Amino acid sequence: MEQRDSTRRRYHISALAKGMACLQAFTSQADGFTLSQISRRLNVNPATASRVCGTLVDLGFLQRDDQKRYHLTPRVLSLGYSYLSSLPNSPYIQHSLAELFTSVNEPVSLGVLVGEEVVYLLRIPKSNVLPFDVRPGATLPAYCTAIGKVILAFSAPDLVTAFVRTVSFQPRTSKTITSPDMFMEQLQAIRNAGYAWNDEELYPGSRAVAAPILDRNGCAVAAISLPLPASQYSLEHLKEVIAPQAIKTARDISFLVQAVDDPFHLGAQSTPILRSE
């Protein structure tokens, strides 16, 4: 482990890390940032922030408006689209999601676990269904989303242990699971069922069901989910009607990606699970 950390430090370029952190600092809610705001977000002095932003402007990833506020440019989309295009069998994965969407006539998402969050990669939306929208590239806490819980349920025990030890179980609603012990119990129930559910734990009025996409070792490398309005779908309907369809689609996608090592480029996070019979 010490040798691995030493190697990482040797090849770590701090200037590049600051540039990536700067791009990640921008959110969909932000109407641009001033240089001082970026400086505070990156925890660097204004001179360093100015050099980072100036470089990103020169490269075409940022622009500065007349009020001296920095904004992302459309060029950043090229990074995300390049990633999506590099996924194995990407057109077939999207076709499988589209078939599920047609079958249930509800939004369908595909996401992966990165640290303590779910990153949504693909999304087939439906207008005016939920009080929020999740777009590709968006992140949500894994502990209170169906997609995050199903990935964790089918992940390596050491990854789950580290997750539970470090994550802050903040109550998003009155139904959010905030007890590590209760969370672990639900992961076991999810593992037994083969799918996960979310009963207004993230947003009031929203339920969801999710199924894991498994690699050849039976480890969840991604998952698909269907967020649904609680006013129209009971939890029983999700489990009895929607879940089987989600499981079938997830199995189809699993078959497509199992011929490839690390199909979603997650690195060491993708490790075999130890199943309990």
User: 138 with 265, same domain?
Assistant: yes
User: 98 with 41, same domain?
Assistant: no
Residue 276 is assigned to a structural domain of this protein: no
| Neighbouring-strand partners of residue 109 | 123, 225
Is residue 139 within 8 Å of residue 150, measured between CB atoms? no
* Rounded Cα distance, 246 and 198, in Å: 14
Residue 20 is assigned to a structural domain of this protein: yes
Q: Furthest-apart CA pair in the chain: how many Å?
A: 63
User: 57 with 168, same domain?
Assistant: no
Domain CATH for 231 = 3.30.450.40
How many structural domains compose the chain? 2
| Neighbouring-strand partners of residue 140 | 118
Residue 164 is assigned to a structural domain of this protein: yes
pLDDT value, residue 34: 92
User: 37 with 118, same domain?
Assistant: no
Residue 274 is assigned to a structural domain of this protein: no
| Structural domain ending residue among the three candidates 21, 50, 74 | 74
For 57, the domain range is 2-74
Residue 25: C-alpha distances to residues 38, 64, 93 (Å): 8, 15, 30
Residue 79 is assigned to a structural domain of this protein: no
Q: Which of 139, 151, 128 is nearest to 224 (CA)?
A: 151
Residue 277 is assigned to a structural domain of this protein: no
Render each residue's pLDDT in the chain as its tens digit; 277 residues: 454 455 556 777 888 888 888 888 886 556 789 999 999 988 999 999 999 999 999 999 899 998 899 998 878 877 776 776 677 778 889 899 999 999 999 999 999 998 899 988 888 887 654 555 677 778 899 999 999 999 999 999 999 999 999 999 999 999 999 999 999 999 999 999 999 999 999 999 999 999 999 998 899 999 999 999 999 999 999 999 999 999 999 999 999 888 777 777 777 554 433 333 3
pLDDT value, residue 275: 35
User: 169 with 37, same domain?
Assistant: no
Is residue 6 within 8 Å of residue 16, measured between CB atoms? no
User: 132 with 207, same domain?
Assistant: yes
User: 114 with 239, same domain?
Assistant: yes
User: 69 with 189, same domain?
Assistant: no
**CA 47: distance to chain centroid?**
33
| Structural domain ending residue among the three candidates 45, 74, 103 | 74
Domain CATH for 65 = 1.10.10.10
Which run of H or of E encompasses 221?
strand 220-229
* Rounded Cα distance, 17 and 52, in Å: 10
| Neighbouring-strand partners of residue 112 | 119
Residue 152 is assigned to a structural domain of this protein: yes
User: 229 with 170, same domain?
Assistant: yes
Residue 256: C-alpha distances to residues 3, 92, 95, 114, 250 (Å): 36, 8, 12, 22, 10
Residue 81 is assigned to a structural domain of this protein: no
